[in-house]
Chain A
């Protein structure tokens, strides 16, 4: 008997047992208590949000529910029955499905093949594919999840790939669907569609658990919400009876400023001038098409766009990491880089360009280095830190202490290995390193990705302070909110082109979202 059999569509039956009940879940990794006495109960056919900062234990909790980890103690009940979930197979058998933040799809397989993968029935693939095709047709029409099942997954846009993930779960007869940060890779429009799908699923009896750190989404579609902090549940709320500020305060444990306070910008002379720049990657694909813009001193220029539309490449080109195949870049009126005069990242940095890379652990830091070593990455050859042969470790240590103090990096231990700092503190370490050099131009990519709300506030203030000190800032972020609140001017990128420019004070989320999807040219757009 599945929940949907017992239910009239759209109605909530209070007599039904909760779809999921977690009772006193404890989980420790070594000496870290990732979940402490976590209890929560989710009514069937509802959308339940779980919010919390990074490291609050949300993902661990859901991994326990989906069988990735086993709790050290505690009980899981599914539809009122105590259920042992030791593997993901047992979770699937219990009717639980999960859509991961990073999709678990094979790009070179069709949608149909991906859906069947691991759930083949019968001995011959052909048979399972044809029965799967019928089942999928039914599912697609029932839940409004149209996807062409014969397309290669690699050819689908991200939003549709996510749909395939949902279909995969439904194909395995999931009645409880967990989504981990599902909107991170979507445009506002795609997010909107996703929410409609989720609402549809709920109305047809599916219980949805949504893990997110975006309070707006919680407010928009959930019925109930659980707030986690430091591995514990700090509050359960009915969404309609709470507010964003209250949730934020619960998450962080103190009052949080959600908007960045900044004055009007005072743009000065042009610091960075980019003219008709193009770049081609190793595979021969052109990643930037005829990109032109400038950044003046004392202003923050934001680049909005769905992830993967050339923003990363643009930052790398400007930082000297990626080569320019056409066009020219100048700094303070002097030529910096063009096709025939490449400069490497060290030379660009030497000319006063700071670069906070998008992915700090992939590019900005060295995991296994002590903080003091990571804090001089890129300036390690500088005279301040070197004698003729040997490095001046005292100077390096002193420099790191100073940076940690100035940017409130915790713990203040220059000898702690980089990867053992939390995401926010790692990011502060990178920012401290890049800002402390007082660069004329600061390139910032995803400054608050995977960073706690408390640290976000701090980082935003520092970026604004850079601007107010008369420096030019180029900000790339996939968080539209962040771009809108920090930037003075916003450029929108799509498929390697700059498709629009708006003044931040005139921008609306709707308009930017359409530009990000290249669906509209805004009235206010000034083609550069």
Chain B
């Protein structure tokens, strides 16, 4: 009996349905573009070529993807423990503080191969610490993680503005930013890395942090599905009573999952601060932490799915910017609407299409094999 219940193959749910959902989102976006009096095909063309049409475009897309992989993984790891970490935004922000402190203190006398790993550790540690507190409060006091992480985003923001305006600011400067770090601490751009070996790439913010992000995907996958700690975290997330029954300490798992989650979010600073901006500045996270939630949901909390979803959103960021750039009547807010529609169709309305597609598949299958 249960064998027949699962006749619909996996690719329907993981490939076909998301594709249909994205197409539907684009369809509705297209209608809106028609309403404001623009050509939807041109818009689509600009969106796609803007994201993938040139080396520079791909570079930007992958640069956004890098940020979103970090925050998507962060949200996913917490999610496996049944926790909804809304605080990746703040954790990434504080991760930037860690990087900045290491750089400000050490970029004058430390060599690259020491300072960059040191920054990495600092970014992860600072982000982890910022997630540890809500995790600890959830575990011991039952303070709801959604509420505390949201509040911690605001606290992070306030702390960072205070520090940047009063403490870390380069003296005599208008913008609340630190000084630019010495070049030893920069994560090299991809176009710079590949230039000596004869591969010439257009310049873009894409840097070696992408490799770190992909490495994190592998590590997260192995941790969640291939270690006993990942097993324990998943058990807590799926069924806390069963976890207690199995001798797993849910409190410890919650704190562990949040700490790892925050560490991953903190690594956004590697891409943004050390990779691109080379200085700590106000609000450098710019919403990647929140988009990471959508990335994790769309990616089904699996690293492979997260890479794909991050690529989709990276493309929407970059292609959307090109769209706003090329067609003045399509404002940046319109681009946000398109992103919102993708989230709506792929997330909230997923179950609108799925059952229909599945029953269509079954029908096609039956009539195909039945005759």
**Interface positions of A (Cβ within 8 A of B):** 30-32, 55, 319-321, 344-350, 355, 357, 362-369, 373, 377-378, 380-381, 385-386, 389-391, 393, 411, 416, 420-422
Contact indicator B249/A344 (Cβ below 8 Å): yes
Contact indicator A357/B2 (Cβ below 8 Å): no
Q: Which are the 4 A-B pairs with shortest beta-carbon distances? A: A346-B247, A378-B246, A345-B247, A363-B245
Contact indicator A344/B247 (Cβ below 8 Å): yes
Contact indicator B228/A386 (Cβ below 8 Å): yes
Report the Cα distance A393→B225, complex, angstroms. Answer: 10
Which B residues, 42 to 60, have Cβ-Cβ distances below 8 Å to chain A?
A: none
Contact with A along B1-30 (1 / 0, CB 8 A): 111111100000000000000000000000
- Chain A residues, Cβ within 8 Å of B226: 390-391, 393
Residue of B nearest to A390 (CB): B226
Nearest CB of B to A395, in Å: 12
Contact indicator B6/A420 (Cβ below 8 Å): yes
Nearest CB of B to A74, in Å: 21
Residue of A nearest to B230 (CB): A391
- Chain B residues, Cβ within 8 Å of A373: 231
Nearest CB of A to B366, in Å: 9
The stretch among B207-215, B233-241, B268-276, B285-293 that forms the contact with chain A is: B233-241
Contact indicator A31/B362 (Cβ below 8 Å): yes
Extra contacts, 10 of them, besides A386-B228, A420-B5 (Cβ < 8 A), are A319-B245, A320-B247, A345-B246, A346-B246, A348-B247, A349-B247, A373-B231, A377-B246, A393-B226, A422-B2
Residue of A nearest to B246 (CB): A378
Contact indicator A362/B4 (Cβ below 8 Å): no
Interface residue B227 (Cβ < 8 Å from any Cβ of A): yes
For B238, B241, B246, B249, the residue with the greatest tally of chain A CB atoms inside 10 Å of its CB is: B246
Contact indicator B7/A31 (Cβ below 8 Å): yes
Contact indicator A32/B5 (Cβ below 8 Å): yes
- Chain B residues, Cβ within 8 Å of A55: 1
- Chain A residues, Cβ within 8 Å of B97: none
Residue of A nearest to B2 (CB): A420
Report the Cα distance A364→B242, complex, angstroms. Answer: 6
A369-B238, A420-B6 known; A355+B228 contact, CB < 8 A? no
Nearest CB of B to A363, in Å: 5
Contact indicator A321/B222 (Cβ below 8 Å): no
For A321, A377, A421, the residue with the greatest tally of chain B CB atoms inside 10 Å of its CB is: A377
Report the Cα distance A365→B238, complex, angstroms. Answer: 10
Which B residues, 276 to 328, have Cβ-Cβ distances below 8 Å to chain A?
A: none
Report the Cα distance A369→B224, complex, angstroms. Answer: 13
Report the Cα distance A416→B1, complex, angstroms. Answer: 13
Contact indicator A345/B239 (Cβ below 8 Å): no
Interface residue B244 (Cβ < 8 Å from any Cβ of A): yes
Nearest CB of B to A231, in Å: 9
Between-chain CB contacts (< 8 Å), 16 pairs? A31-B362, A319-B245, A344-B249, A348-B247, A362-B242, A363-B242, A364-B245, A369-B234, A377-B245, A377-B246, A380-B228, A380-B246, A381-B228, A390-B226, A391-B227, A411-B2
Residue from A366, A385, A390, A416 in contact with B242 in the complex, judged by beta carbons closer than 8 Å: A366
Residue from B1, B3, B4, B235 in contact with A377 in the complex, judged by beta carbons closer than 8 Å: B235
Report the Cα distance A318→B241, complex, angstroms. Answer: 16
Report the Cα distance A145→B130, complex, angstroms. Answer: 61
Contact indicator A366/B4 (Cβ below 8 Å): no
Interface residue B94 (Cβ < 8 Å from any Cβ of A): no
Report the Cα distance A369→B233, complex, angstroms. Answer: 12
- Chain A residues, Cβ within 8 Å of B5: 30-32, 420
Report the Cα distance A55→B2, complex, angstroms. Answer: 12
Report the Cα distance A380→B230, complex, angstroms. Answer: 11
- Chain B residues, Cβ within 8 Å of A344: 244, 247, 249
Residue from A363, A380, A386 in contact with B241 in the complex, judged by beta carbons closer than 8 Å: A363
Residue from B3, B4, B227, B235 in contact with A390 in the complex, judged by beta carbons closer than 8 Å: B227
Nearest CB of A to B369, in Å: 13
Report the Cα distance A349→B5, complex, angstroms. Answer: 36
A345-B247, A390-B227 known; A411+B242 contact, CB < 8 A? no
- Chain B residues, Cβ within 8 Å of A422: 1-2
- Chain A residues, Cβ within 8 Å of B3: 411
Residue from B234, B241, B248 in contact with A362 in the complex, judged by beta carbons closer than 8 Å: B241
Interface residue B206 (Cβ < 8 Å from any Cβ of A): no
Residue of B nearest to A386 (CB): B228
Residue from B2, B228, B238, B244 in contact with A366 in the complex, judged by beta carbons closer than 8 Å: B238
Nearest CB of A to B155, in Å: 31
Nearest CB of A to B140, in Å: 15
- Chain B residues, Cβ within 8 Å of A349: 247
Nearest CB of B to A56, in Å: 12
Report the Cα distance A391→B231, complex, angstroms. Answer: 9
Residue from A350, A391, A411 in contact with B228 in the complex, judged by beta carbons closer than 8 Å: A391
A344-B247, A344-B249, A349-B247 known; A368+B238 contact, CB < 8 A? yes
Nearest CB of B to A157, in Å: 27
Nearest CB of B to A255, in Å: 23
